[in-house]
Chains A and B, each alone.
Chain A
């Protein structure tokens, strides 16, 4: 997974999402947080989806969480993806959720609720993907 594979469609950061992707490259998982109502906001938005306020700032997540749901994919989205791969929804310990891939675990050993931690996987000079791996 750590080899750069130019065939996999990589994110094209927007002005809105750039702080998140910059953070991944620097080894930090960044998420937006509302200074008014305290909501964590992900994916990045121009407003808080809890209160419609604009008082958003980027904060660091612990990168620790648990597996909320997953699917082991055997028919790839496109040939660049090596099968099987595991798509996950991770529930971060701050209470927000994100899509990701699991690394460092056999598909047979994946279980909803398992503890995870972020694992930054470099894909190109610009893009490092925040994957997740099991934690003790």
Chain B
């Protein structure tokens, strides 16, 4: 069988500098860095690009603005949220001949200023949510608590996820938390945020940009790069996030449908996956996704993550750059950074001690249970 994405290759992936704050940097400068860095990574010129999905959140730069930075030459622009969604849309545009080389990039900075409150992207102002003091950590905590109640998922499993991922970030020079090693006992020693989440169970906040460029398999052969192939991908969208109760029984397996569709598209199974760039806003969410995608049975995710299995050198390393917990979480930028890091990992471009030797297939995901959406993408070193 052939994947419906056959013929589309990722030829460049790039992260700008990531930091808790990037003083003096505008989103325009930052997204321009992402655009240029991504093209450089692929050895492409601006004139090679005929498809764009480039946007920023705070200052609302759009693909149509950026099309003019490219002299009006691009013929296709996408407007999906920067992330797996945008990549699938861009890949579909290439696969159907609407464009040949599509650049997807984004950046975010200058948003988090009122630090006595949680960051603004975590606290939407809905009338049935805001008055209860909710924000994303509490939303995901409500899911985690229900899972722990039903399946007896242990606190130790959450600590192992947080420590494993944070240890990856400690070894990545571009990670915001570079050098900050964390052991499981440090996680429970950090202050409580929203039960069961301690501070180190929760993602950081930061600023940065990122990008990815896709083209046809044929054009990829002419470039001096290691092409990475899009094997499959799908969305699972269950409605507007943060307006209603995050009910485990209704939304707990969000992403399962996306994973099933993605695996069906290329004929692979979770057993074929070597590395998992999973959305990791909070430690528990990794456990949930491993269960939802079929890496283990329902309720067994807590046991699955133990014993070094999700660490570098284990059977299924997770969030190999340090993820949202340690590498970076710049608003929406983290969505695109999951497939970006999956591509960099498969290209062998991560620091040596974070490289998964012989990795051929990666899964990347965006969004999670508390957000009521979860998108999945499969990437590989060989086309299917």
- Hey, which bits of chain A sit against chain B, CB under 8 A? 8-14, 17, 42-43, 68-79, 81, 85, 87, 89, 97-101, 107, 112, 123, 127, 129
Contacts and interface: CB of A to CB of B under 8 A. Distances in A.
Nearest to A123: B131
A18 B179 CA distance: 52
Nearest to A71: B141
A11 B248 CA distance: 25
Contact of B138 (A68, A87, A123): A87
B194 A79 contact: no
B117 A77 contact: yes
Given A73-B138, A101-B133, A11 B145 contact: no
B195 A101 contact: no
Interface stretch (B43-51, B100-108, B121-129): B121-129
B54 interface: no
Given A43-B244, A75-B137, A112 B127 contact: no
Interface in B136-161: 137-138, 141-143, 145-146, 149
A94 B123 CA distance: 29
Contacts of A107: 195
A17 B149 contact: no
Contact of A99 (B116, B123, B245): B245
Contacts of A8: 131, 133
B133 A70 contact: no
A90 B193 CA distance: 21
A11 B146 contact: no
A25 to B, nearest CB: 14
Given A89-B245, A98-B245, A73 B133 contact: yes
Contact of A81 (B133, B192, B247): B133
Contacts of B192: 72, 74-75
21 contacts: A8-B133, A11-B131, A17-B127, A43-B243, A69-B142, A69-B146, A69-B149, A70-B195, A71-B138, A73-B195, A74-B191, A77-B123, A79-B116, A87-B134, A87-B138, A89-B146, A89-B247, A99-B244, A101-B133, A107-B195, A129-B131
A7 B181 CA distance: 39
The 4 A-B pairs at the shortest CB distance, nearest first, are namely A11-B127, A71-B141, A78-B117, A69-B146
Contacts of B253: none
Interface centre among B127, B130, B134, B142 (most CB of A within 10 A): B127
Interface string B230-257: 0000000000000111111000000000
Given A85-B133, A87-B133, A77 B128 contact: no
Contacts of A11: 127-128, 130-131
Given A12-B127, A72-B194, A77-B123, 10 more contacts: A42-B244, A43-B244, A71-B145, A73-B194, A75-B137, A75-B191, A77-B134, A87-B194, A97-B245, A107-B195
Contacts of A98: 128, 245
Nearest to B128: A43
Contacts of B137: 75
A14 B142 contact: no
A12 B141 CA distance: 26
B145 A70 contact: yes
B195 A72 contact: yes
Contacts of B127: 11-14, 17
Contact of A78 (B123, B142, B244): B123
Nearest to A11: B127
B198 to A, nearest CB: 9
A99 B143 CA distance: 13
Contact of A112 (B116, B138, B149, B247): B149
Interface centre among B131, B149, B192, B243 (most CB of A within 10 A): B131
A75 B118 contact: yes
Contacts of B135: 77
B247 A68 contact: yes
A37 B192 CA distance: 43
B153 to A, nearest CB: 13
Contacts of A13: 127
Nearest to B240: A43
Interface string B296-307: 000000000000
